[in-house]
Amino acid sequence: MAKIIGENLPNIPWQEPKGNEHIWRYNNNPIISRNPIENVTRVFNSAVVPFKGGFAGVFRAETNNGIPYLYFGKSDDGVHFTFSKERIVFHTKEGGAYKFEYAYDPRVVKVDDVYYVIWCDGQHGLPVLALGKTTDFERFELVSHPFLPFNRNGVLFPRKIDGKYYLLSRPSDNGHTPFGDIYLSESPDLVYWGNHTRLMQRGYEWWQGLKIGAGCAPIETTEGWLLFYHGATQTCNGFVYSMGGVILDKEDPRKVKYRCGNFLMTPETEYETVGFVPNVIFPCSALTDAATGRIAIYYGGADTYVGLAFTTIDRIVDYIVKYSR
């Protein structure tokens, strides 16, 4: 039986399943709906982590002029959030405020005692990954832009492996997106990145045939690194984004042990199928409790809402292995 390697966090959001589902939605979804902050019309595709007995998050917020920025939010229960009124400011090495063109789809990953924020940043109108850090969610610092444009879906591993940081990404173009594969890169210092390796290709399965991208920070388990990711297909009425799952080798994450041929979740509910961009499930973060094996997944719905889904380590690993291709 697979087990989570990590902290015991008994206060993560949780709801029992009704049957033998491998994954199930929170009954009170969406947990963040429209117009949650002044001058913000939608919050989605956001990342939540445990912090000081509660939970903190960096949220993608679409402002009323249509430009996305990053906002801070906090919660006692991981479900009900209060947000900062102003967007997050990242300070440069020179001490000034970093000037955003736009910022979207953040991930937050704790490595040692530092919380790293990875997001898609606008550089001269081009999408590129940016990396920042904080220890208190009050002051944020810009670390680097790891790769050249165009790149999206940066996800950092939660610990070093053989003394190196590992980062997942998806090189792409300026649109949506002839380049659809997940790459893995390594760094000694979070500034200089190399040894780039194509980790996973788009699948022949239709639900992930157009492109794939890393979602939540990899979860360390006794079976390997559990990664939730998104896969997209192109239909006659537009894109459909679903959630997939894969297990990577714990010592060498360039090795894929099991990759599920089935999607884990696909848009079905109204808050996933109807919104600013219909038919989107976009996982960005997961909370885990090592003692119980529980996993709570935060995902964006229809580029409009934030939803929660639940699973357990044994159920999800069994499903991924059973339907591995």
pLDDT digits (tens, 9 = 90+) for 19-53: 999 999 999 999 999 999 999 999 999 999 999 99
Is the CB of residue 293 less than 8 Å from the CB of residue 8?
Answer: no
**Per-residue confidence (pLDDT) for residue 196, from 0 to 100:** 97
pLDDT digits (tens, 9 = 90+) for 218-250: 999 999 999 999 999 999 999 999 999 999 999
Residue 278 has a CB neighbour count (10 Å cut-off) of 17
For residue 172, what pLDDT band results from cuts at 50, 70 and 90? confident
The arithmetic mean of pLDDT across residues 149-171, rounded, is 96
For residue 176, what pLDDT band results from cuts at 50, 70 and 90? low
| Closest of 305, 309, 307, 243 to residue 29, by C-alpha | 307
| Average pLDDT, rounded, for the chain | 96
| Closest of 96, 12, 108, 99 to residue 60, by C-alpha | 108
DSSP string of 143-192?
A: EE--S-SSEEEEEE-SS-BTTBEEEEEEE--SSS-S---EEEEEESSSSS
Is the CB of residue 225 less than 8 Å from the CB of residue 247?
Answer: yes
Is the CB of residue 49 less than 8 Å from the CB of residue 285?
Answer: yes
Ordered strands of the 90-91 beta sheet:
90-91, 140-144, 126-134, 114-123, 103-111
Q: Is the pTM of this model over 0.95?
A: yes
Minimum mean pLDDT range among 25-29, 201-205, 222-226, 265-269: 201-205
Please enumerate in sequence order all residues whose Cβ is within 8 A of that of 82, keeping only pairs 6 or more positions apart, or say none. 73, 74, 75
Q: Residues of the chain with pLDDT > 90: what percent?
A: 95
The arithmetic mean of pLDDT across residues 238-263, rounded, is 97
The arithmetic mean of pLDDT across residues 198-216, rounded, is 96
| Closest of 68, 133, 78, 137 to residue 100, by C-alpha | 68
Minimum mean pLDDT range among 103-112, 113-122, 167-176, 263-272: 167-176
For residue 174, what pLDDT band results from cuts at 50, 70 and 90? confident
**Per-residue confidence (pLDDT) for residue 179, from 0 to 100:** 83
